[in-house]
Amino acid sequence: MSEKRPFVGGQAVIEGVMMRGPEFIATAVREPSGNIIVQKERLTSITDRYPILKKPMIRGVVALAESLIYGMKALSFSAQAAGEEEEETLSNKEIAVTMLFSLGLAIVLFVIIPTYAAKYIHSAVTDSRLLNTFEGILRLVIFFLYVWGISLMKDIQRVFQYHGAEHKTIHAYEAGEELTVENIRKYSCLHPRCGTNFLLIVMVVSIVMFAFLGWPDLWLRILSRIVLLPVVAGIAYEIIRFAGRSKAKWVACAITPGLWLQKLTTREPSDDQIEVAIAALQAVRPDQDVEVKTDA
């Protein structure tokens, strides 16, 4: 059994993979010419200046916000490197606007719509816990339909192949394997620390938490869901962090639905896609110093 290694996480991007290690973050992209270009930078976190932000519950919210920022930068770089955009990478202002728009869209889809729709059964159900549970289940259904819908898109399916390559490569790294295509190929596309798992856990935690908030006016219900989102995210982060390290059977059973959901968000990658994931992970792995080609 291999020794525990520092966490390495990742994200699929356009024609590539972003990997995040303890000290560095790197995005590897397959250029139209066939070459792999790697953009690597040292990680900087606000938690280094304010250690209190590393405390349980708080660290999850900070990690989520920083992941969104780095993820947007990686997507911008990958779109340019893959030849899908001729403009320069997004500025910090453009990233902030994009994130705010995405957050607003998520609030409409997963907060306002299910919360508003739940009022239509209010005449038949008076128990606030049942009403809130129905709202949570409706939110979960919308989430499943959204994931299923985007999984049918051809371009997204290719991104999901890189998602599978990312997971397989991290599995091999965590097992102490040499990072070769042959070694990585045998591993699963599903991983317990996947962001898909995190989102599903967020949905489940919100159902449990919101069930006990009563049934105030619509605007108060919507506001309470938005205000408590950081708390829900913090709890979900701690759960998925624990699940990523634990080998207990009950933990494996608890995260199984999230692994099933990953069957929609991952696809079996090709060898050249695995090569891209290897390049990204080699650039950030903490156990060796690796020379990489960086974006100028």
The reply to whether 75 falls in a domain is yes
Supply 196's token pair.
Answer: 């898909």
Is residue 38 classed as helix, strand or coil in its secondary structure? strand
State pLDDT tens for residues 53-106: 889 888 888 988 888 888 888 988 898 888 765 555 666 677 678 778 888 888
Burial class (CB in 10 A: 0-12, 13-18, 19+), 224: middle
259 within domain boundaries? yes
**Residue 168 forms part of a structural domain:** yes
Closest CA to 279 of 265, 264, 295: 295
pLDDT at 114: 92
Provide the residue range defining the domain that includes 199.
Answer: 9-284
Within the chain, residue ranges assigned H as helices are 46-49, 58-81, 92-107, 113-117, 128-151, 154-174, 181-185, 195-210, 218-227, 229-245, 249-254, 256-265, 271-284
**Contact of 225 with 41, CB cutoff 8 Å:** no
User: Cα angle at 70 between 69 and 72, to 5 degrees?
Assistant: 65
pLDDT at 294 > cutoff 50: no
Is the per-residue pLDDT at 160 higher than 90?
yes
* CA pair distance 158, 150, nearest whole angstrom: 12
Residue 293 lies in a domain: no
C-alpha to C-alpha distance for 165 and 16, rounded to whole angstroms: 9
State the distance between the two ends of the chain, measured CA to CA, in whole angstroms. 40
Asked whether 11 and 276 are in contact (CB, 8 A), the reply is no
Q: Does any domain span residue 48?
A: yes
Domain-located, residue 28: yes
pLDDT of residue 3: 55
The percentage of the chain sitting over the pLDDT mark of 70, rounded to a whole number, equals: 92
User: What is the tally of structural domains in the chain?
Assistant: 1
- The percent of residues in the chain predicted with pLDDT above 90, rounded, is 49
Highest average pLDDT, of 120-134, 231-245, 258-272, comes from 258-272
Mean pLDDT for the stretch of residues 242-255: 75
Contacts by 31-34 with C-beta closer than 8 Å and gap 24+?
Answer: 31/81, 31/82, 31/83, 32/82, 32/83
Q: CB under 8 Å to 105, separation ≥6 — which residues?
A: none
Residue 145: the pLDDT is 94
Residue 290 domain-assigned (yes or no): no
Domain-embedded: residue 2: no
- What's the rounded mean pLDDT across residues 243-257? 76
Handedness of CA 283, 284, 290, 292 (dihedral sign): positive
What value does the mean pLDDT take over residues 126-151?
A: 92
Q: Which sign does the torsion angle of CA 265, 25, 27, 278 carry?
A: negative
**Backbone phi, then psi, for 243, in 5-degree steps?**
-65, -35
What is the rounded radius of gyration, in angstroms, for the C-alpha atoms of the chain? 20
Q: Determine the longest span between alpha carbons in the chain, in angstroms.
A: 65
Q: pLDDT-derived band of residue 295, with 50, 70 and 90 as boundaries?
A: very low
